[in-house]
Chain A
Amino acid sequence: MTFQSLEYLIFLLVVFLLYWTVCCRSKTLQNGLVLVSSLVFYGWWDWNFLGLLFFTAISTFFAGWWLGKTNNQRKRKILLVGTIVMNIGILFFYKYFNFFVQAFVDAFSLFGTKMSVSTLKILLPVGISFYTFTALSYSIDVYQRKVEPTKDMLSYMAYVMFFPSILSGPISRAQKQLPQYFGLRKFDYNIAVNACKFILLGGMIKLCLADRLGIYVDTIYANIAQHNGTTLLFTSILYSIQIYADFAGYSLLAIGSGKLLGIKLPTNFIRPYFAKTVTDFWRRWHISLTTWFRDYIYFPLGGNRCSKARWMLNTMIVFTVSGLWHGAAYTFIIWGAMHGTCMVVERIIYGDKIKNISAKFSVANFLRLMVTFSFVNFAWIFFRVNNLDDVMIIFKKIFTEPGKPFFDTNTFLMGFVAMVIVFTYDFIKEKQLNIHLLSSHFMVVRYATAIMLIVYILAFGVFNGGSFIYFQF
């Protein structure tokens, strides 16, 4: 049951109706419904991993409860470390075990020692990277006394398992999101309408842009050797747009679904391709993950309040870990390290001025934007390919095999229209222009825009495009 499916739409409608009719008088009922519906939603994917999800939620809940009970700093530390090791250990086992075993074998083979180690057939539980981080944020926040430990297990379970964000975030943070579950949610017309706009936009971006471009991108990447450098370069640009549309579309759908139930989820994207530096890009891309890494890895390592060399190391560590978080492959690690390196280089070039680059339009800013996009686009190639050999083929072809690009008129025609809509919308938001269609003062304009969007989705959406790219992480 993916967000863009009809099953989900019906599921959400049923939950919405029950939530605001049967359960609207009690927060216990509301949280209970959220929990039950989240279990149904997650179980729909794979009920085999429900136990694991429960374990993560319960272990972090009791860790928080215990952390609140004791003032002994040593005990608290042991408890926190234990919780982190346990949960990261589970994540490690499911996601990285085979990768590290293989890396170990590869490392030995470099020295001429051939090892035969069999790997395990491990299925990755969907959403594990996301819900583990959501749950851990609570334990760490309680340890740091930023959050009061809760005794309300139901609210906590609803927070960790909240179905709109369980599969691919946005990663919730206990400090901001958890208190919402402690009170009774009241229906607000404006918030609900706003939620529908998010869902509509998210659906359009995912179905009409991401999945449309996905048809072309997947075809080319499935057969890299057959295509020339121009096609591969062009495809890499389209992939940059596809991954943005896919994940931003997903995030809008998740945030919209949350809002419909009166739960505000964190913002995940702020028009990342309008970034003028890579540093700026990371303030706009997958914000909930970036801030998680900032608060729980970068700051504890010393952040930028240390020597320059140490700061560089901290940045590199955070981005390499971020790469590894995305997937157990060298390509992801390189992708993360590339971003880390670029941020270090930017900091050296710009110094403290990096925070104050003007938002106004200028040739210099336009060039910065283009350079940033080019770098990000270049790095996405590592993100998309299956192995490093493919990267080598792509780069070799881009620089040595120009030619006429492979062109699929139908996909481009439909993808291009969606691209224009999405980037015009982003441009209006970025420049804060006073153009509002879905939020116009005129009812006719509002309704007409919504109807046009639905008609556009029905006419040009790709409904069999499969799931979201970030589900694999």
Chain B
Amino acid sequence: MAVHLFTSNSKIVMRKGLSRFYVAVLLVLASVTTVDVAVGKVMDWMLPQISNQGDTGKTYYSLNDVRTPIVIVGSSRAAHHYVTQMIEDSLGMPAYNVARDGCFFSYNCCVVNSILDRYTPNVIIWENGTEYLFDGFDDPLENLYPYYERNLWVTSAIREELPWAEYARLNSRIYQYNSIMHRVLMRYRGRNLFVDETEKDYLPLQPKNLKKVLELKQVEQKYTELSKTKVERFYAVLSRAKNKGVKVVVVDSPMYSLCDVNNKSAVEMRKICKMYGALFLNNSQLPEFVKHQEYFNDAIHMNHLGAKIYTDMFLEQVGSYLN
């Protein structure tokens, strides 16, 4: 009898403890959710106010605000290689370089699609590495997290490309601003001091004395298979551009390394461009640049000297297509 009483008493204690524990956990979760929503709202309010300021603002600008007839999209190579002012002067239309460091194919698909949703530019210059369509090629989407479930293209890219755990985490508004919250806050604080760049977001790299002389090396082909999702996305974007009458130049700018210009991804890219009337230029191995180490700051980035010469040459290449 005593044993039985003791057992049921301990069971009651255990049940009470469990209930108390569940309540505590729920209380913490509810509080975190409240804070999460509140912080998210503050961030959502701040973000448009730093449009086009710094890297974080540049993404906002490219997805929501850019309206120039000529837009240059791409990664750091586009940001450093296309002198916006030269393009603007040559083509006689306002241009803007919305390219951002570390942002590759999927990111730029979202940018191009968002631009096409908003207005009809005359020309889109899309710097696209010829290996971008390979499956497994590093294609980070972190910079688009604040737009998850706010931008259709971003949401679908994230769901297609990332594992479920990542987009499950993206249900947290704070997580959408992971690692950039302080940047948003700092930019917001200094927003009144911000002076618009005259370079239209072309980011010149000043030539520097390199510690180690650049070596012309053969780049190893790491990937073999094309990504079906990326190929389909590329078809879809160029088809939309064609339907809207937007001229698209898909281009891979020079690099100081040797690679296979006819790799599977490059061939596919060329084929898709041809199908939708886009101009495809594979400039990665141009002898005029591969011979000139002084045009480069590293194997994949040209300095201002190289960028000026390259932009000039690029404008000649696209002249007939754009006219």
Q: Residues of A at under 8 Å CB distance from B?
A: 5-7, 20, 24, 186-189, 192-193, 196, 225-226, 410, 413-414, 447, 450-451, 454-455, 458-464
26 contacts between A and B (CB under 8 A): A6-B165, A6-B168, A6-B169, A7-B165, A20-B18, A186-B10, A187-B21, A188-B17, A189-B20, A226-B211, A226-B212, A410-B183, A447-B31, A451-B28, A451-B31, A451-B35, A455-B36, A455-B174, A458-B172, A458-B174, A458-B178, A459-B177, A460-B179, A463-B166, A463-B169, A463-B178
- Which residues on the B side are within 8 Å of A188 (C-beta)? 17
Q: How far is the CA of A464 from the CA of B142 in the complex (A)?
A: 11
Per the bound structure, the CA–CA distance linking A414 and B35 in Å amounts to: 20
Tell me the minimal C-beta distance from B125 to chain A in angstroms.
Answer: 29
Interface status of B24 (Cβ within 8 A of chain A):
yes
Partner of B36, one of A20, A410, A458: A458
CB neighbors of A among B159-191 (8 A): 165-166, 168-169, 172, 174-175, 177-179, 181-183
In the complex formed, the residue of A with least CB distance to B211 is A226
Identify 20 new A-B residue pairs, CB closer than 8 A, beyond the known A188-B17, A189-B17, A410-B179.
A5-B165, A6-B168, A20-B18, A24-B14, A186-B10, A186-B14, A225-B212, A413-B182, A414-B179, A414-B182, A447-B27, A451-B28, A455-B36, A455-B39, A455-B174, A458-B36, A459-B39, A459-B177, A460-B178, A462-B179
Q: Please tell me if B93 contacts chain A, counting CB pairs below 8 Å.
A: no
Which residues of chain B are within 8 angstroms of A461 by Cβ–Cβ distance? 178
Nearest A residue to B34 via CB reads A451
Cβ-defined contact, B21 with A192, below 8 A: yes
In the bound complex, CA of A255 to CA of B163 (Å): 28
A459 to B174, Cβ gap below 8 A? yes
Given A6-B165, A24-B14, A461-B178, verify A455-B32 contact (CB < 8 Å): yes
The CB with the most chain A CB atoms within 10 A, among B21, B39, B165, B166, is that of: B21
Nearest opposing residue in chain B for A196, CB measure: B25
Residue in A193, A196, A410, A458 with the greatest tally of chain B CB atoms within 10 Å: A458
Tell me the B249-276 residues at the A interface (CB within 8 Å): none
A448 smallest CB distance to B (angstroms): 9
Identify the interface centre among B24, B39, B175: most chain A CB within 10 Å of its CB. B24
Residues of chain B with a CB closer than 8 A to A458's CB: 36, 172, 174-175, 178
Count of CB-CB pairs between chains A and B under 8 Å: 68
* CA gap between A202 and B247 in the complex, in Å: 53
Q: How close is A413's CB to chain B, nearest CB, in angstroms?
A: 6
Chain A residues closer than 8 Å to B174, beta-carbon distance: 455, 458-459
A447 touches B28 (CB 8 A): yes
Choose from B21, B31, B39, B175 the contact partner of A193 (Cβ within 8 Å). Answer: B21
A-B complex: 5 closest residue pairs judged by Cβ atoms: A189-B17, A6-B165, A458-B174, A187-B14, A458-B175
| Interchain CB contact under 8 A, B17 and A454 | no
Q: Contact between A459 and B181 (Cβ–Cβ < 8 Å)?
A: yes
Chain A residues with CB under 8 A of B183: 410
Nearest-neighbour CB distance to chain B for A460, whole angstroms, equals 6
Contacts of B166 in A (CB 8 A): 463-464
CA distance A454 to B179 in the complex (A): 14
Write out the residue numbers on chain A whose beta carbons fall within 8 Å of the beta carbon of B181.
459-460
Q: Which residues of B contact A455 (CB under 8 A)?
A: 32, 35-36, 39, 174
Tell me the complex Cα distance, A6–B212, Å.
Answer: 43
Task: Report the minimum CB–CB distance from B167 to chain A (whole Å).
Answer: 10
Residue in chain B with minimal CB distance to A13: B25
| Complexed CA–CA distance, A188 and B18 (Å) | 8
In this complex, what residue of B is CB-closest to A225?
Answer: B212
Quote the shortest CB–CB distance from B38 to chain A (angstroms): 10
A461→B181 CA distance, assembly (Å): 12
User: Which residues of B from 28 to 52 have beta carbons under 8 Å from A?
Assistant: 28, 31-32, 35-36, 39
Q: Measured between C-beta atoms, what is the minimum distance from A160 to chain B in Å?
A: 27
Residues from chain A with Cβ under 8 Å of B28 in the complex: 447, 450-451, 454
* Minimum distance in angstroms from A293 CB to a CB of chain B: 37
Q: Compute how far the CA of A108 lies from the CA of B25 in the bound complex, rounded to whole angstroms.
A: 63
Chain A residues with CB under 8 A of B168: 6
Cα-based distance from A196 to B25 in the complex (angstroms): 9
Complex Cα gap A239–B174 (Å) = 28
Chain A residues with CB under 8 Å of B35's CB are: 451, 455
How far, in angstroms, from A68 to B178 measured CA to CA in the complex?
56
Most chain B beta-carbon neighbours within 10 Å: one of A226, A447, A460? A460
A465 to B107, CA, bound (A): 21
Q: What CA separation (Å) do A24 and B17 show in the bound complex?
A: 13
Closest Cβ of chain B to A33, distance in Å, is: 16
C-alpha spacing A5/B21, complex, angstroms: 23
B19 closest partner in A (C-beta): A189
Are B177 and A451 closer than 8 Å at their CB atoms?
no
Q: Give Cα A175–Cα B310 distance, bound, in whole angstroms.
A: 73
The residues of B that contact A196 with a CB separation of less than 8 Å are 25
Contacts of B18 in A (CB 8 A): 20, 187, 189
A413 to B179 CA separation, bound complex (whole angstroms): 10
Bound complex: CA of A451 vs CA of B36, how far in Å?
A: 10
Chain B neighbourhood of A7, CB < 8 A = 165
Nearest B-chain residue to A411, judged by Cβ: B179
Contacts of A225 in B (CB 8 A): 212
Complex CA distance for A98 and B21, rounded to whole angstroms: 50
| Minimum CB–CB distance for B277 against chain A, Å | 38
Rounded to whole angstroms, the CA-CA distance of A458 and B178 in the bound complex is 6
Min Cβ gap B188→A in Å is 16
Which of B10, B20, B28, B179 counts the most A-chain CB atoms under 10 A from its CB? Answer: B179
Residue with the greatest number of chain B CB neighbours at <10 A, chosen from A6, A189, A410, A459:
A459
Chain B's closest residue to A215 (CB) is: B179
